[in-house]
Each structure stands twice: as structure tokens, then as C-alpha cells.
Amino acid sequence: MESQQGVQSVELTALKNPLILTKILKQAEIPLKTCRLVSSFWNEMVLSLPNTRLALSLSHDDDQNEMSFSELCSSVDARLATRVSYFGWRKAESFVPNLTQICDQFGDTVQILELSIAVQTNLPAVYQLLKNSCPNLQQLRISCLSTQNSASSTDLIPGGEIVPVRRSLTSFMVTTVEVEVTAHLSSFIDVVINASPNLKEVTLPWGVSQDLSNSKCLNSLTIALDNADPREIVKAEDKLSDLSRMLCQVSDQLVTLNFDYVDINGEFDKTNNFKKNQYRLPTEKMSKLRTFQNRMTDVFRCDDLLPIILPNLKTLMIGKAYEKSKCVDEILQTICHSNNKIFPNMKNLTVMELHDPKLLNRLVTAFPNLDMLNLDMLKTTDFAGKKSRMKLGVVLKTCRGWKALKHLELALPKYPEDIEDVIQALLKAKELFKQLKTFTLTTLDCDNEIYDLSEDEMNLFKKFLIAIRGMERVEISSLCFTKESAESIHAFMALKKMSVDKFSVVEEMSDDEDEAASDDGSGSDDFEDDDEELYMDDDSVDFDFEDDWRSDSDDDSD
């Protein structure tokens, strides 16, 4: 009994040790909500964090809850309201009173405010918030999901009113999801930017180009492409001209410039007879630029800009809007053949739809000091319609050339058909895993089998687990196993003290799927799809076995 009390006393002492808690909270994967439940002391410590990751989500549906919105707000610890998320577009009629309640209850506490709104109906209320409340607001993020019309059309800013200066506001983001940019929205964006002289980060939807000449602190600009049709962009010469003017205003101060999706990802335009856009991003001096991300290099041409900014870049992302476009390959070929130049400053590289392994190999020479590599190859063919040559084994073997690489993310068109080939390709990369901290592997192939591992295959998979045991995080999706195989893998992971939170490498088939698979003798359901693009019959494994790997020993919202 005394021994049990002693153990309990040690545990309680540990729970009350702020040094232990501080070390735990440094782990980004630890949910703060979970930490709050450990003890009242931990809850108090979490709520006292100056830069908490917690967000107070007030997306409340009165029809589904007994507690009213007012009661909900009154029951919340105000310290949780440093960051508030409210999605009010679904019930526009309650948005104004609910937003007023938020301001009355938490106005002085709110530093980060995230709103999803209906443009015409809700913007005046957001303007009133900026005019009268939340004096300590630092970040404002607005996602426009609807263009519902107000019962009566009114000006955003009544005549004679003056917008107060918002000196604390440093980050302003506006995105549109399946809605057009209205004059109402454009006017609101203009109001916020003019009233916020200390803005450092701005995200604007495509088509909105503001006067940034007075934004002297701005160092990050993102053009959100969520609702952008590439064919319409190339026709909008006036908007492209305005974009160039805006970029020239801040070119000498930008550290980050992005043309990317923010809330939703778009699909490739399958137009075959597209014409390469003649618009080119301005080449004004960007000596401070360190991050450049361009999801549509065939729309926002950067052929002239890249050679100027590339030597100083630390982060680069390139993609394309048109499936048949070869702009990504052309850009990479230019980089690799630019007088054998080496760009040692590049640390983070993301490439969309690269299907040439030889070109990937040349990038090892061009960017020798990569810390993070993300290859996103979800199409089964290249721009010419030829089958992708980026097989799992080939890609992993090439990545071994980056000696400083610590983080690798791969999205492949297809895994090898045989599970043993998948495991062998991963085992072949054991030397790569010794240097990596994180590894993510995924595919959009929806016809993956459900694997019931044989004894030999299970032994191989265990060798793979041992190879990745020293890494910080590994995530492999779409490797689905039978219940028996999954349990064996999890048991081995438990034996080796490998947390499933850190090593997510198994997708277990449900009991219903398991029974169905047993009935028809197949590891996967019969699946038929009219979309030919989903059908892939090519072999996706290509690797050799120079090394004798077989001889390895088993060595947050509230």
C-alpha cells in the first residue's frame, strides 16, 4: 500500500513539474486539448501560454444544441479566446448578433479572428467589429463562401465615418471559395489595408490588386488561386496589369511571394489546345525574396524572374495549371543546364508533376543542400501522355543523393502492385531513412488491394519498421492490411516502443470489409469507374539490390 502511495506521489509530483510540462508542450504533435485534461495545474499552464495553439471554435448551431450561443460564450474561459474561429455563413441571420456577442464577451482578448462569411450580408458587421472592437487584433482571416444578397443594399462605410487605425494588425487574409470577388468585398479589403500600416502578411484573392505603396512593413504577399480559372486569368489583361503594378510597389521588400491555393485545391485544366500565356511576372529587383511558390507557372510565367531570384531563394515551389503543359519540365531543365550552376541556399523544394527521373537526378546537383523535398506526382502520365517513370524505388534511390535531406514527402501515381515490391523498395532506402527525420508517402490510386501478409512479407515489413525506428515521424497512406496482419504489425511496434502516433504506416480493414474480402476471395472490392484516368496497369517498381539489406539485424480547436 505504501509502495502504491509512493508511486502515486511520484506521478503527482511529475504532473506538477513545470519543466516536464514545458518539454511536453514543445512537441507540436501533442494536442493541447489533451494536455488540459491531465490535471487542473496542466490546464492552468496551457491557458497561460502566450502563443497558444488552441482555437476557440464558436461554430454553433442553435438548432442542434440545447445550450444557446450566449450561454456557450458565457461558459468559456476568456483565456481561450486569444484565437477565435466562427463560421457564420450557414446561418447568415444569426451572424450579426453572434458576432456582437463574441465582441462583447472577448473583444479585448481576441488576437486572432477567423471568420467564414457570406459576403454581402456579413461584411458590414465585420467592418463594425474593426471600427468598435478587438483593439488587440493581430491576425484577421476571412473566407468568403457565399454571396447572399442583403435584404437592402447599403454602403459598406456610411458617409462621414472614419476607420480607426489598426496598428496591431499584422496579418490579413481573404480567400474566396466558389464565389466571385464583388465590389463590396474589394472595398472592404481596401478599407482594412489602408487602416493597417503595420501589415506584414497579406493574402488576396485573384483579381484583387490593392494600392500597397503605404504598406512599408509588408514582407509576405500571397495571391490565393482557390476560385481562379486559368483560362479566365490569361484573358484578364487589365487584372494582370494591376497585379504587375502592385508587385512593383513592394518588390524591394518582399521576402515571400506565393501564387497558390489556400483553402481548396484546384484540378488540372485538361484543355489540349491551350496557348502558353504571354504574361510574365515583373522582374523588378527582389533582393530580399527568399520564398517563391507558383502553383501555375504556365499562367504566371516566371521564366525571366527565376534566374534573378534563384541564387538567394531558400524555398521554391513550382506547379502547373494545364495537364498538357510542359512548363515545369522546361523550368527545371533551364535550372539544371544554367552553366552547371549550383544553388547552395535552396533548402525547401516542392515540384508538382515531375515525371522524369533523370531530371530529378540533375536537381541533386543543382540543389545540393536541400533539407525538405516534396514531390507531388498524382497524374499517371506526363505532359506528352507517356506513362510516368517516377516509380517508388527510383525516386527513393535518387533521393539518397541529397546528404542533407531531413524531410521527404512523396505523392506517387501508383504503388507497386505486389506488396513485397513495396516493402523491398522501402527497405532499399534504409540508408536514406537513417538521415531523414520525417517521411510521408501517399497515392491517389483508389484501387489499392487489402494485403494479408505472408510470414516472409511480415518479416520484411518488420525489417522496414526497424529501419525507420529512429525517425521522428513516418506516415504512409493507402497501405491497407487485414485485421490479422494489422494486429501483428501493431504488436511488433509496441514491442519496439514505436508509437502509432509517430509511425502511421498501417490502415486496417474494417470487420465488414474483412468479411467481404473473405467471401469473394479477393483483397479488394470489385471497382469499376468510367474515368479511364483512374485505371493504371503499369508496373510501379524499379530498383536494384546492391546492398545486402536482408542481413540487417534487428537492432488543436476546442
Nearest to 485 by CA among 513, 506, 466: 506
Q: What are 188's three cell numbers?
A: 472592404
Residue 101 scores a pLDDT above 80: yes
Residue 70 scores a pLDDT above 90: no
416-432: average pLDDT: 94
**E-assigned strand segments in 62-170:** 83-87, 112-118, 139-146
Query: What gap in Å lies between CA 541 and CA 425, rounded to an integer?
Result: 7
pLDDT band at 76 (very low <50, low <70, confident <90, very high): confident
Instruction: Count the alpha carbons within 13 Å of 49 in the hemisphere toward its beta carbon.
Output: 23
Q: What are 241's three cell numbers?
A: 496589369
Residues in the chain: 558
Which CA distances in Å does 430 have to 291, 357, 425, 478? 31, 20, 9, 21
Identity of the amino acid at 426: L
218-226: average pLDDT: 96
Cα torsion through 242, 246, 247, 250, rounded to 10: 170
Query: What gap in Å lies between CA 119 and CA 92, rounded to an integer?
Result: 10
pTM attached to this predicted model: 0.84
Q: How remote is the C-alpha of 391 from its chain's centroid? A: 24
142-153: average pLDDT: 63
Provide the pLDDT for residue 275: 66
pLDDT band at 53 (very low <50, low <70, confident <90, very high): confident
CB neighbourhood size of 270 (10 A): 10
Query: What gap in Å lies between CA 446 and CA 436, rounded to an integer?
Result: 28
Residue 529 scores a pLDDT above 80: no
pLDDT, greater one: 478 or 63: 478
Residue 542 scores a pLDDT above 70: no
Average of per-residue pLDDT values in the chain: 82
157-180: average pLDDT: 84
Question: Are 143 and 178 contacting, i.e. CB atoms less than 8 angstroms apart?
Answer: no
Residue 432 scores a pLDDT above 90: yes
Tell me how far apart the terminal alpha carbons of the chain are, to the nearest angstrom: 39
CB neighbourhood size of 284 (10 A): 15
Instruction: For residue 543, give every residue at least 6 positions away whose Cβ sits within 8 Å of its Cβ, in sequence order, or none.
Output: 391, 392, 393, 394, 396, 397, 424, 425, 428
pLDDT, greater one: 320 or 48: 320
Q: What are 506's three cell numbers?
A: 498501417
Q: Per-residue pLDDT tens for 322-345?
A: 888 899 999 999 998 876 689 999
Residue 254 scores a pLDDT above 90: yes
Which CA distances in Å does 286 have to 203, 256, 297, 367, 515? 19, 10, 18, 21, 61
Query: What gap in Å lies between CA 365 and CA 344, rounded to an integer?
Result: 10
Instruction: For residue 514, give every residue at least 6 positions away whose Cβ sits within 8 Å of its Cβ, in sequence order, or none.
Output: 482, 483
pLDDT band at 532 (very low <50, low <70, confident <90, very high): very low
Task: Return the SS3 of 313.
Answer: coil
Residue 103 scores a pLDDT above 70: yes
Query: What gap in Å lies between CA 322 and CA 400, rounded to an integer?
Result: 31
pLDDT band at 155 (very low <50, low <70, confident <90, very high): low
Instruction: For residue 512, give every residue at least 6 positions away whose Cβ sits within 8 Å of its Cβ, in sequence order, or none.
Output: none
Instruction: For residue 535, give every residue at least 6 positions away whose Cβ sits within 8 Å of its Cβ, in sequence order, or none.
Output: 447, 529
Helices (H) and strands (E) in the chain, counts: 19, 19
Instruction: Count the alpha carbons within 13 Å of 382 in the hemisphere toward its beta carbon.
Output: 16
Provide the pLDDT for residue 278: 78
Query: What gap in Å lies between CA 220 and CA 215, rounded to an integer?
Result: 11
Instruction: For residue 130, give every residue at least 6 positions away whose Cβ sits within 8 Å of its Cβ, in sequence order, or none.
Output: 137, 140, 163, 164, 166, 191, 192, 195
Query: What gap in Å lies between CA 474 and CA 487, rounded to an integer?
Result: 18
Query: What gap in Å lies between CA 159 and CA 162, rounded to an integer?
Result: 9
Q: Per-residue pLDDT tens for 256-313?
A: 999 999 877 666 566 655 666 778 999 888 999 999 999 999 999 998 899 999 999 9
Per-residue b or e along 88-104, where b marks 16 or more CB atoms closer than 10 Å to that residue's CB: bbeebeebbebbbbbbe
Nearest to 544 by CA among 441, 460, 421: 421
Q: What are 429's three cell numbers?
A: 532506402
Instruction: Count the alpha carbons within 13 Å of 112 in the hemisphere toward its beta carbon.
Output: 16
